[in-house]
Amino acid sequence: MPVQYTSILAEHHAVRSQAGIFDISHMGQFIVSGPGCAAWLNRLLTNNIDKLALGQGQYTLMLNERGGVIDDLIAYRSGETEFFLVVNASMIEEDFFWLASHQDPDVILRNESELWAGMAVQGPRASAIFAAACPGEPLPPRNGYATTAAAAIVCRTGYTGEDGFEFFCPAAEAIAAWDGFIAAGASPCGLGARDTLRLEMGYPLNGNDLSPERSPIEAGLGFFVDLTKPDFIGRDVLLSQKSAGPAVKLCAIQYTDKGAPPRAHYPVLATDGTLLGELASGVLSPSLMTGIAMAYLPTAFSQLGTPLQIDVRGRQFPAIVVKKPFYKAK
């Protein structure tokens, strides 16, 4: 099977001041078309598809009837009656089944994940690298979508807090595209680097910070939910949560002293030892050189500055609730 998705950021530990990353993972690509596709997507996604002009994209979420997150994804308007969806690797089959099970007769849905390879170049030098690797080709504006003369797709989105772009080409051309970006100055790195960078910005990861048991309101993603839309799956649950206030909130947590790196599923305790929950994501931040994490906490413990304890294999390390993003550019 060909490599489906590759991220390029140069210099993991120096990425905030250098070029960007190159790692290997697999993302899914769906094509949605037909005269009723926009209205149909608006009933399945939280953001408002109607706000997208041709060549624009938006972050959005797909929910179950309980308001829980099935997946978060990027939707691009690639044509007047066509959309390009980029979904998470582990959710390709589940996402496609969910969409197909709700498909309208005037909507065409295609899973093209096996046809594409993708490379994401992230970092301050991303634009220069693209210009060197793809001379004369268009680099779209932030959250934009464009196609090249060679039938590749370029999306200016990224998920690291840095400038960057995603480059999708036919799978057979993956090696040549990879070599071209390396020659232009990009450096390979692992998925862990990209995960670290997104967490430093407080960006959630599906399967860790997002799940079918948690809603976008609980996750602090209300900005990407358009409750003025008359109908979408999960809307009534989200309306109720917003009105009453969520019982738990996804909080940013940072060590106040040195400690063992925080990891997903480590217990989060109040200062009196009461169990409050567990970490959804955690890492030793290379930019801040301290432990950072996110966890769903009872609302009463979600206020900024709330002291906590992170239990790491029986040892407790002091931490506090902080404001996102953890990393703030100077």
Per-residue pLDDT tens for 56-107?
999 999 999 999 999 999 999 999 999 999 999 899 999 999 999 999 999 9
Please tell me the predicted confidence (pLDDT) of residue 146: 96
Sign of CA dihedral 325, 191, 294, 261: negative
User: Parallel, antiparallel, or unpaired: how do β-strands 116-122 and 69-79 relate?
Assistant: unpaired
Per-residue pLDDT tens for 299-315?
999 999 999 999 999 99
- Three-state secondary structure call for residue 289: coil
Q: Which residues contact 78 (CB under 8 A, 6 or more apart)?
A: 31, 55, 84, 145, 153
Q: Are the C-beta atoms of residues 230 and 302 closer than 8 Å to each other?
A: no
Q: Which residues contact 159 (CB under 8 A, 6 or more apart)?
A: 194, 198, 203
Per-residue pLDDT tens for 1-17?
233 344 444 333 334 44
Other Cβ atoms within 10 Å of 5 Cβ, number: 22
Higher pLDDT, 238 or 163: 238
- Whose CA is closest to 211, among 73, 97, 94, 70? 70
Other Cβ atoms within 10 Å of 105 Cβ, number: 6
CATH superfamily of 248-330: Aminomethyltransferase beta-barrel domains (2.40.30.110)
Per-residue pLDDT tens for 125-162?
999 999 999 999 989 999 999 999 999 999 998 788 88
* pLDDT at 19 > cutoff 60: no
Confidence of residue 190 (pLDDT cuts 50, 70, 90): confident
**Structural domain boundaries in the chain:** 5-195, 248-330
Q: C-alpha distances in angstroms, 74 versus 47, 83, 137, 194, 273?
A: 10, 10, 22, 17, 40
CATH of domain 5-195: 3.30.1360.120
pTM (predicted TM-score): 0.91
Please tell me the predicted confidence (pLDDT) of residue 1: 29
